[in-house]
Amino acid sequence: MTEDALTADPNGGDQTAESAINAAATGGITADLVKLALRRVKDPEVNLNIVDMGLIYDVRIQGNDVVVDMSLTTPACPSGPEIMKDAEDQLKTLDGVGKVELNLVWSPPWGPQRIEPRVRAYLGF
C-alpha cells in the first residue's frame, strides 16, 4: 500500500496521507497520523499492514504520548514480537512523539471480520 492510501476516519470519512501529515504539522500528533505510521507495519505471514488487518483496536493521544491497544491474529502468533517491535519503531519516528505504549489485548479476539472491508473483498472474503 502506498503513502497515498486513504486512512480510515472514525467519523466515516476518509483522509489522505497528505492531509494527516498536514494536520500533525499544525496540531501535533493525531490518531490519523498514528494509524498512517502503523500502516507501514506488516504482518509478515500475510503481507498486509496491521491497520488493514484490523489489529489496531484503539489509539489514544495523551499530550505527546501515544497509547495503542492492539492484538495479534492468535496468541501463539510467531511474528508477534516482530510486529510489536516494528509498531513501536514506526511510532517513534513521528516528530513530537514522547512515550509510546503498546498494549497487547485479546478481548475481543481478532477474527477475519476485523479486516478492512475493501481488503476483505480483495482477498475474496
Mind listing the pLDDT tens digit of every residue in the chain (125 residues)? Answer: 333 333 444 334 444 455 445 444 546 899 999 999 999 999 999 999 999 999 999 999 999 999 999 999 999 999 999 999 999 999 999 999 999 999 999 999 999 999 999 999 988 88
Angle between helices 31-38 and 80-92 (to 10 degrees): 130
- 106 is written with which cell numbers? 485479546
CB 51 within 8 A of CB 43: no
CB 67 within 8 A of CB 103: yes
Question: Domain boundaries in the chain?
Answer: 7-123
Neighbours of 110 (CB within 10 A): 20
Look up the CATH number of domain 7-123.
3.30.300.130
Say how far apart CA 35 and CA 20 lie, in whole Å. 10
Residue 52: strand pairing partners? none
